[in-house]
Amino acid sequence: MIKRIKLRTLLAGGLFTLLFVGLIVRIYWVQVVKADFWSEQAMKTWVTSETIRQERGKLLDRDGKVLAADALAYTVAVGPKRIAELEALHPEWKLTDRIVSKLHIVLGTEEAKLREFITSKKDDGVTYRDQREVRPDGWKVDKATRDRLAAFRDEIRTLTGVKNDVGLYFMEEQKRYYPNGSLASHILGYESKDGKAVYGLEQKMNEELSGSPGFIKYQKDGARVQLPNGDVEYKQAVDGKDITLTIDKDIQYYIEEALRTAYEKYRPISITAIAADPETMEILGMVSLPDYNPNTYWDTKDQNSFRDNAIQSLYEPGSTFKIVTLAGAVEEGLFDPNAFYKSGTIKYSPKDKPVKDHNGVGWGEITYLDGLKHSSNVAFVKLGYEMLKKERLTKYINDFGFGQKTGIELPNEVSRPFSLNYPSEVATAAFGQGKVLVTPIQQVAAVAAVANGGKLMQPHIVKSISDPNTGEKTLTEPKVIRQVISPETSRKVGEYLETVVSDKAIGTGYKAYIPGYKIAGKTGTAQKVTKNEDNKSGYSKEKYVVSFIGYAPVEKPKIVLYVVVDEPQIANAGGGSVAGPIFKEIMGKSLLHMGIEPNLPKSEETPSSESTKPRRDVEITSSVPDVSGLTVSQARQQLTERSFPVGVLGKGTKVLQQLPKGGSVLPPSQRIYLLTDTKPGNVPDLKGLSLRDALEMCSLLKVAATVDGQGYVTAQKAVKVDGKWILQLTLAPQGQAVEPPAESTEASTEEAASGSSSETKPEG
């Protein structure tokens, strides 16, 4: 018995000894052998890290107006677990149905998909998820959408009596915001919701715009509170660089407004326009339709809307290319404007078909200058094929930059090399058909060289890059590629091209004529190559690319403008009849905006040939003085001296702001409004104001507005929507009558004000 007890004691003692030895070995293993590993694991538990987001650089127009910037956004999420708990306690609330219905209305997500989100469970298939984001529709929504859903959440809380968590959440995010909607969308590109830069300058300048995130690491206790004496590691976020563009937002707007009207009228495949400063080749405006809204890029179904035809589409240029042949012939001393030739047809080679003028029969024996005005193909076959010949014509085409990329700071620019191997290719190239295919940006650069004294400049759209972290600013200097023609040739060609526009009797560009300005220009009408039933290529008799290119003022060019319309749906489409009026509208507004006033006599005689036709010439204009800071009486005196009607808003004694702003060039019939205090008063009569000025007025008065139509305000009406006053503006193109609203057109800003942000959707 005693022996058995001793044995058990020894056995128990041995087990305890082994246990302690094992424990000591384990402690040694953990604290000595694996010390580094477990110290690292403990540190992970004690240390937390938070990312500090950087701000992506802004894209600005040449005057510092924001075109793209980061903005606050929200991601909508639902709480399946919380919603299920509330549904179980109070099924009569029908909480799931209510949330599904509202999210469907606001976000557009399918109801079945929303129910799937709200009822989603973890991998075990039993436990509901704590949270589920509503993607993609609820991902990075704007504040207006978040506010609508937040108001709905408050309604649910009121209905249920639940003060806090009802299963609907909003998480703060950051997204790229384009405050002008589709304005300059091809130039800007966009940033996708997952942060990828796509198209345009967003893609091309992504490295400069991106910056880098920072972080903070610190030690915490079990309650996730930072330890006062703990280690802290901090890296500051580096914001992206701001990029100022050469784009003039107002000129960009003029182009988009004119092109949208034409796009609706002619329904072409595409329509494109580029405006540039010929001295520097700074791009002032560049538009390609169809386009898209970078804020809602996912709504754009037609992939052609993402194509920037200004740099990505190749065209047979048609007669606008005759400027190159003309410049070469003048430079070589071969162009005599007063020499005669026989128009109609020309047989340049025994084996090839003759070239005909566009009217089929020509105009008999005429001078070469008249041939330019008529846009005679025969004249340019003689100049290019017979006089310049292949080698010199090819040299000038190359020297003007065709067949080579321009190097503009945009992605996906295209170009196609050319070779003129046969007589037919040389002859047709002389008047803009055949082997030489051009992009609109190449065409603008070439004609800018004709305008600026003969220098081919590299187009650029980035004016400067500023680093907000260091204050460093890098400017883009104008770059001369080569001298193509002499300044004297440039001057002569400008004079010849000016007659194409000013000669209303025979000039094909007369529809681009603007009284008071000397405009050099050239029309273009190119047949498109199509395939017939036998799959053979040939020129279509129904499909055309029509265009107009020109610059002004001829004596000192400030702007070169190109408009190209691909397949306008209209009979007998021509560059003069379709593209000319578009050019005229954009050029007229742009010159006034740049402070270049027309040189008009007090009374301009109307040519007898035009006496029976309705005309709408450019009004004599005046520059608006800057009267901000002056007393009302001083401001009124300065404005009335220049014949501007004056409207005073408020009861203050000093002018705080004015609209339109000082420096604007306007007809004297335009009313100038003076804001003298910030206290809401009455909304003035906005009729006659442009969309831009009307919206700025509403912004100054803190009035929410909606817009119907395009052009200029023709009527206004205050209406109550969801308990808030909204000012409804009706617009129409200038001169077009619109039925006024039946109700009063004036409302108090105290009634109409519902926040400083407008809910308008201007066209561009």
Residue 541: pLDDT band by 50, 70, 90 thresholds? confident
Confirm if 423 and 352 have CB atoms less than 8 A apart: yes
Q: Which residues form the catalytic set?
A: 319
665 has pLDDT over 70: no
CA distance 714 to 708: 10
Looking at residue 574, its pLDDT comes to: 85
Non-local CB neighbours of 130 within 8 Å, separated by 6+ positions: 79, 80, 81, 82
Question: Alpha helix (H) ranges present in 242-340?
Answer: 249-266, 309-312, 322-331
Q: How confident is the model at residue 755 (pLDDT cuts 50, 70, 90)?
A: very low
Q: What percent of the chain has pLDDT over 70?
A: 81
Whether the pLDDT of residue 734 is over 80: the answer is: no
Q: Which of 593, 598, 646 is nearest to 618 (CA)?
A: 598
Split at pLDDT 50, 70, 90, the class of 264 is very high
Fold of the 55-210 domain: Penicillin-binding protein 2a (Domain 2) (3.90.1310)
* N-terminal to C-terminal alpha carbon distance within the chain: 105
Lowest-confidence segment of 69-78, 498-507, 550-559, 734-743 by average pLDDT = 734-743
Read out DSSP for 672-727? EEEE--SS--BPP--TT-BHHHHHHHHHHTT--EEEESSSEEEEEEEEEETTEEEE
Instruction: DSSP for 328-397, please give it.
Output: HHHHTT---TT-EEE-SEE---TTSPPEE-TTSS--SEEEHHHHHHHT-HHHHHIIIIIIIHHHHHHHHH
Task: Specify the pLDDT at position 640.
Answer: 76
How is 725-736 classified by DSSP, letter by letter? Answer: EEEEEEEE-TT-
Mean pLDDT value of segment 149-172:
89
User: What is the C-alpha to C-alpha distance for residues 559 and 549, in angstroms, rounded to an integer?
Assistant: 11
Query: What is the token pair recorded at 637?
Result: 């005196």
What is the model's pLDDT at position 622?
Answer: 59
Q: In whole angstroms, give the CA distance from residue 348 to residue 355.
A: 8
Residue with tokens 């910037």: 69
- Model confidence pLDDT, tens digit, residues 211-246: 988 877 766 655 555 556 666 677 788 899 999 999
Q: Are 515 and 600 spatial neighbours (Cβ–Cβ below 8 Å)?
A: yes
- Separation CA 180–CA 248 (nearest Å): 13
**Please, are residues 248 and 285 in contact by the beta-carbon 8 Å criterion?**
yes
**Are the beta carbons of 114 and 172 closer than 8 angstroms?**
no
Mean residue pLDDT across the chain = 84
Q: Give me the pLDDT at residue 405, please.
A: 96
Name beta bridge partners: 462.
245
Q: What pLDDT is stored for residue 751 in this prediction? A: 37
Q: Which two tokens stand for residue 336?
A: 């005599």
Residue 140 has pLDDT above 80, yes or no: yes
The stretch 129-146 carries a mean pLDDT of 89
- Answer for the pair 704, 755: CB distance below 8 angstroms, yes or no: yes
Which positions ≥6 away from 727 have C-beta within 8 Å?
683, 698, 703, 704, 705, 706, 716, 717, 718, 747, 752
Q: In sequence order, what DSSP letters do the residues of 123-143 get, joined into one string?
A: TTSSSBPS-EE-TTTTTTB-H
> Domain segments of the chain: what residues?
2-33, 55-210, 249-597, 621-679, 684-764
| Closest alpha carbon to 623 in 671, 675, 673, 668 | 668
Q: Where are the alpha helices (DSSP H) in 423-486?
A: 423-429, 440-451
Cα separation, 247 vs 186, whole angstroms: 12
Instruction: Give the integer Cα–Cα distance in Å for 74 and 139.
Output: 7
Q: Are strands 345-346 and 355-356 parallel, antiparallel or unpaired?
A: antiparallel
Strands (E), 532-568: 537-552, 559-566
pLDDT of residue 612: 31
For range 94-118, the mean pLDDT:
91
* pTM passes above 0.85: no
- Residues 249-597, CATH architecture: 3-Layer(aba) Sandwich (3.40)
Strands 646-649 and 672-675: parallel
Q: How confident is the model at residue 750 (pLDDT cuts 50, 70, 90)?
A: very low
For 476-524, give the DSSP string.
Answer: PPP-EEEE-S-HHHHHHHHHHHHHHHH-TTT-TTGGG--TT---EEEEE
Q: How far apart are CA 188 and CA 61, in angstroms?
A: 11
Q: Residues in the chain, how many? A: 764
Q: What is the DSSP letter of 575?
A: I
Q: What residues contact residue 528 under an 8 Å CB cut-off, 6+ apart?
A: 316, 539, 540, 543, 544, 545, 567
CA distances, 488 to each of 154, 187, 485 (Å) = 74, 35, 8
Its CATH class, for the domain covering 621-679, is alpha beta
